[in-house]
Amino acid sequence: MKTLVIGANGQIGRQFCALAAEAQLPIRAMVRNTGQTPWFSERGIETVIADLEGDFRQAAEGCDEILFTAGSGPTTGADKTLLIDLLGAIRSIDLADAMAMRRFIMVSALRAEDPMQAPEALRPYAAAKHAADRILRQSATPHLILKPGKLTDEPASGRITTRPATVSHITVSRGNVALALLVAAKQPLIGNTEVELLDGGDPVEHLFS
């Protein structure tokens, strides 16, 4: 089962792709331009050049699922949040439906549950995630929605929790998110599931236990 990774050149995307390559999972990294391909080629990772703001159907040919971890980033405005985090996600979901894919994995956000409770500066992002998640739930493609908390650059510990009420923080390392995505990619039958994710004390391998 080959996975198209949309947002492969992002911080979580790169870590996931490296882990997937080490595990010999079949993936295809979608990147925006040729300048982004060497990092992936050096690791033996298949790449395809496509843009979420353009026609990217050809990027998904031959793939069985989509992993969406794209984001406009903190330095852009609400316009790019709409075009990438919302419309880009919706178009990706529509593509998965049209191609009758087996699954769509969405990297969402813990605060997407209630965007108005997010810090004011993050509300457009949380609202985009909220809307994209709702559309994904109603799509024809089986889905897995991963909802990480506030992202950090701490090294991956391999220890997480899916029960936010059991910890006194709302953070999770990008490395642990990538590890959780690897666990998901290894279990193609997991679908129509939503998981909250924070750093914690449980082995990430038990994510779906």
Q: Beta-carbon neighbour count of residue 49 at 10 Å?
A: 15
Among positive and negative, which fits the CA dihedral 52, 111, 108, 41?
positive
pLDDT of res. 73:
75
Tally the domains of the chain: 1
What are the backbone dihedrals phi and psi of residue 71, each rounded to the nearest 5 degrees, phi first? -160, 150
pLDDT above 90: residue 1? no
Separation in Å, CA 23 to CA 27, 55, 95, 155, 166: 11, 30, 27, 19, 31
- The domain containing residue 79 runs over which residues? 3-206
Residue 163 among the catalytic residues: no
pLDDT above 80: residue 74? no
pLDDT band of residue 209 (cuts 50, 70, 90) is confident
Separation in Å, CA 166 to CA 87, 112, 147, 190, 199: 34, 20, 16, 24, 11
Cα–Cα distance, 77 to 54 (Å, whole number):
19
Mean pLDDT across 64-74 = 90
Q: What is the pLDDT of residues 77-132, one digit of tens each?
A: 788 899 999 999 999 999 999 999 999 999 999 989 899 998 998 899 999 999 99
Q: Which helix (H) or strand (E) holds 63?
A: none
Q: Which of 84, 125, 148, 184 is catalytic?
A: 125
CATH number where 125 lies: 3.40.50.720
How confident is the prediction for the chain on average, in pLDDT? Answer: 96
pLDDT of res. 77:
79
pLDDT of res. 133:
98
- Nearest one of 129, 93, 105, 83 to 188, comparing CA atoms: 105
